Structure 1
Amino acid sequence: MSDHTSPEARSRKFGAAEGDQGIVRCDACPVLCRIRPGRSGACSRYANEDGQLVRTDQAVALARAVETGAPVVPFAEGGWDGQLLDPSRAFVTGIGAGTTYPDYKPAPFIVGGTHAGVDTVTIVTEGIFSYCGVKVKIDTDRHLGPEAAAVRCNGEQVGHVTTAEYGSQMLSLGGVRHLTGGSKREGTTTCDTLLKLCGGDTVELAIDGGHTVLVQAGQAPVVDGRPEQRMRVGCGSATIGIFAQQWLGHADEVIVVDDHITGVLSEHQAGKVLGMRPTGIRLRGRRSTPGRYFQVAQPGLGWGGTDISDPLSIIEKIDPAVAWPGLRLLLTSTTGEDALWCVLDDQLRPVAAEMPADVAKVVERIGENCEPSLCTVIFMAGAGGSLRAGVTDNPVLLTRSVASGETRVTMGGAPVYLWPGGGITVMADVLRLPKRAFGFVPTPALVAPIEFTLPRALYQRLGGHMGEIVPVEDLLRGLGPQLRVEGWQDGNPWPFPG
């Protein structure tokens, strides 16, 4: 039987005693802290307890509800007695498992079990990721900063603005060049920023040539102190297409202001199909296809992600040969948060007026069709290097097995997206991992759970550490009070067959 089954033996897997003072050297990361009795290392994840190196956090297992859909009953905070959990419904995660850096040793837990009649093995560890970062999706039309602009936290560059997506601004933060390629302060600030974002905390970011934004996974962004409410329903042209039929007969012209593509209803194909009369209203900027205008204003925090607060400023001219007094004009943003109703006077000047109820109803519907503005944080890492040696003595076989889909990769039980091509490059939504799933080491680098699940027969063919496999029930029982059991997160696929 492997020594993984006892907490005491698990503690001995790391570190080495030094001298007569009870000092233990931790070898869980390259820092190699020398820890005195009763103290913890620089990362606070390992401590010296009576001359033994122990993990300060509990290991985490996830329990799936029975098929009836009954919820998992939370276990008492005082610990788990190992008797209440059906091993077939348990998944041991890498959270709190510890590391075996530089992985010349087998992974901390190599767990055997049977699921749907298939003998499986799950290799469980906490990876030390110097090559990691987060991709942040911020649902807003507001201009946060120029593409490729530096993103800073506490004055240090921790990433950059990347290409915007439909209705969202995107940031790329972290990466090895910020963690290790700059000053010590840049590296530690980057590591701290990533750790907070992955842990669901709020981080204030400042963008060169742009604005500040408060980011927290699953929460609305706050741009320059203003909470965002809505993600746009579409670009200006798309908004015209969606609501053209509903405006017909209630407005003679509709202009949907957008930083990217501003739409003009009467010129738009939708207006043409509906037989709308030309209005002679010409916008500033560059006309693309009919009814679609680029660059009507500069990017900013105003209407539709532009820098304007007066939408009439984007009108270049009104052709007196085409327009008429009494022409009814609606200007709105792509979220419906800003809207102005005007009627042309005898000099063909737009004059603000009270918006008719039928028009206001459509503007409200724009808002109704906008999704809530949220921040999404995606952790991205390369699981290469010696981490794979903790799984098999021939790491390339593991890489190939992962790429082919034979071996399933999870992070804290959460599904990952595996990038095609070489290596094991994965992305995971931090909100799909259990709480407190991430840690750090002061090299600096992030520590994150990772699990590899595959059939036992395949594990043997890959050159796996077969002598280290421990039955799941023995591992759960042996961990005792060092184990924390949480319920399986709804929506995450079960990593095992069946």
Structure 2
Amino acid sequence: MCYIADGRSGACDRYANDNGQLVRLDPLTILEKTEAAGGEIVPFLDKEWDGDILPPTDGFVTAIGAGTTYPDYKPAPFIVSSEVDGVDMITVVTEGIFSYCGVKLKIDTDRHLGVECSPVRAEGEVIGHVTTSEYGSQMLSLGGVHHLTGGSKKEGRVTCSAMLALCNGEEVDLTIDNGVELKVQAGQPPVINGEREERMRVGCGSATVGMFAAQWKGLVDEVVVVDDHITGVMSEHQAGKVIGWEPTGIKINGRRSTPGRYFQVAEPGTGWGGTNLQDPLGIIGKFNPKDARPGLSMLMVSTTGEHSAYYELDENLVPVQKDMPERLQPSVKRIEENCEPALTSVLFMAGAGGSLRSGVTEHPVGLTRSVQNSLTYVSCGGAPVYIWPGGGITFMADVTRMPKNAFGYVPTPALVAPIEFTMRADDYRALGGHMDYVMPLAEALSGKTGRQNDHILKGRRGVSSPGDNPWPTGPGNYPWKKGAR
């Protein structure tokens, strides 16, 4: 339903009119199994093909640049046959137009980003919400059909634009209502209110007390690990009790759980341990003189080691901050060393519906059942996916395991994402696949277009497969050797 003038590209920037021929502007992407992880584009079709192709087992035709099946009447753009370890295989390759898609963000931080269910905005438009807080991470859910098509035109456009940028590895600015300002990018540390996050916590306050209890014994009289979720207190904690830690008479302002573990010591925030505290003594009440004594030493530290302070009780049993003793500095440093780098993870999530399935087989539910029964392996731009249980084909994929710029869009608005279905040739035939449109892998690698394509491919790019991807783009841990059938 698009009109493209001669010499111009369409609104999606994916197709162009070249002297009356519909040309796909993005090259078809082939993942090449090399030792290098990552890799740049390899020029192709700049000259006539000279017959120099990759061995069949070293290339995987992704759906990136392949084209789509829309409006559903035709088979997928590429249905490729190959032989893998003596087994005849079929890979069905198509780009899907996903109105029903979203992005899940895992942001490694203890800092409070916003109250659960708070709206997340880009360019002032609501494009998602804050969801659950997980262990050392805050989660955002962005996109979805209601934001793409259920709101204003601007909301849909901005939602699509933000998701496209995130999936293609670009940085995006977000704001959370009554929360923080964020800069997020797949595989990069988040920037929260202008501060670049460095570390993901080693554990909650209770876990940190348990992990380092023996290392602190004999060096300090009390340790408090400040955490918005579970603050740990060494002298009361079971780990301290087991190794003979003496009571200190400490009093914590919070809701006591099991011994040495306290909830709700402060409000959530961007200070110590994900609380709103700038001074950790705000959670300390009066020491009990029955067990406390002047000169008693106390270390307070956050779950990342970012914040730490040392105190000694004065004659009135009031904590007074002192310089951090040299004997305690290695233990604080050890907390930092045991923290993983803080990253932003971007997972693309979508449901593969009718147009995708009919491009694979004339009996679409057969594909669904084949995927659910592990007879068909699903990948997204060559990257492994997680298939959700239940009906349909709902999948998630880590965008950092895919080639750069694997995603496109259409003005619906909707994202265009690659998806590949790989299975035994016998299984493909049994589920009613389009066998008349199968082409050998060598022909696909040579730049030949599928017979069902109604456009010309601009070319091909070869990209080395990420080293940690499994079969079919990584090491040959073939499903049929693991009893998947």
Please indicate, yes or no, whether the TM-score normalized by the shorter chain is above 0.5: yes
In the other structure, the counterpart of 2:469 is 492
Quick check: 480-489 or 110-119, which moved more? 480-489
Tell me by how many angstroms 1:349 deviates.
1.1
Which one of the candidate residues 439, 444, 456 is aligned to 1:470?
A: 439
User: Counterparts in 2 of 1:224-373, with a 5 A limit?
Assistant: 224-373=193-342
Letter of the aligned partner of 1:460 in structure 2? R
Letter of the aligned partner of 1:352 in structure 2? Q
Tell me by how many angstroms 1:359 deviates.
1.1
User: Counterparts in 2 of 1:432-451, with a 5 A limit?
Assistant: 432-451=401-420
Local SS of the residue matching 2:417: strand
Letter of the aligned partner of 2:468 in structure 1? G
Letter of the aligned partner of 2:463 in structure 1? E
Give distance in 2, aligned partners of 1:85 and 1:164: 46
CA contact (8 A) 2:160 2:415 kept: yes
Q: Does 1:482 align with 2:459?
A: yes
Structure with greater contact order relative to length (CA < 8 Å, sep ≥ 6)? 2
Q: Does 1:418 align with 2:395?
A: no
Letter of the aligned partner of 2:67 in structure 1? G
User: How many percent of aligned residue pairs carry the same amino acid?
Assistant: 62
Local SS of the residue matching 2:154: helix
Local SS of the residue matching 1:201: coil
Q: CA 1:300–1:442 in structure 2 vs 1: closer, same or farther (change >3 Å)?
A: same
In the other structure, the counterpart of 2:370 is 401
Q: CA 1:136–1:74 in structure 2 vs 1: closer, same or farther (change >3 Å)?
A: closer
Give distance in 2, aligned partners of 1:303 and 1:390: 54
User: Counterparts in 2 of 1:111-122, with a 5 A limit?
Assistant: 111-122=80-91
CA contact (8 A) 1:288 1:294 kept: yes
Tell me by how many angstroms 1:488 deviates.
2.0
Local SS of the residue matching 1:485: strand
Q: Does 1:375 align with 2:344?
A: yes
Letter of the aligned partner of 1:363 in structure 2? V
Q: Does 1:56 align with 2:25?
A: yes
Q: Number of matched residues? A: 465
Q: CA 1:486–1:82 in structure 2 vs 1: closer, same or farther (change >3 Å)?
A: farther
Local SS of the residue matching 1:457: helix
Local SS of the residue matching 1:313: helix
Give distance in 2, aligned partners of 1:112 and 1:239: 53
- TM norm structure 1: 0.91
Tell me by how many angstroms 1:475 deviates.
2.3
Q: Does 1:161 align with 2:130?
A: yes
Deviations along 1:198-218, one digit per CA (max 9) or x if unpaired, are: 010000110011101110011
Give distance in 2, aligned partners of 1:72 and 1:185: 36
Give distance in 2, aligned partners of 1:393 and 1:114: 24
Give distance in 2, aligned partners of 1:450 and 1:124: 6
Letter of the aligned partner of 1:334 in structure 2? T
In the other structure, the counterpart of 1:25 is none
Give distance in 2, aligned partners of 1:308 and 1:378: 32
Local SS of the residue matching 1:282: coil
Tell me by how many angstroms 1:82 deviates.
4.4
Give distance in 1, aligned partners of 2:18 and 2:458: 16
Local SS of the residue matching 1:299: coil
User: Counterparts in 2 of 1:121-270, with a 5 A limit?
Assistant: 121-270=90-239
In the other structure, the counterpart of 1:19 is none
Give distance in 1, aligned partners of 2:190 and 2:447: 44
CA contact (8 A) 2:96 2:416 kept: yes
Tell me by how many angstroms 1:76 deviates.
4.2
Q: CA 1:312–1:82 in structure 2 vs 1: closer, same or farther (change >3 Å)?
A: farther
Tell me by how many angstroms 1:70 deviates.
12
Local SS of the residue matching 1:254: strand
| RMSD of equivalent CA atoms | 1.8
Local SS of the residue matching 2:300: strand
In the other structure, the counterpart of 2:66 is 97
Letter of the aligned partner of 2:347 in structure 1? I
CA contact (8 A) 1:142 1:300 kept: yes
Tell me by how many angstroms 1:271 deviates.
1.2
CA contact (8 A) 2:69 2:355 kept: no
CA contact (8 A) 1:341 1:353 kept: yes
CA contact (8 A) 1:65 1:72 kept: no
Q: Does 1:106 align with 2:48?
A: no
CA contact (8 A) 1:198 1:379 kept: yes
Flag structure 2 segments of 5+ consecutive residues without an equivalent.
Answer: 449-456
4+ runs deviating over 4 angstroms: 69-74, 79-82
Local SS of the residue matching 2:262: strand
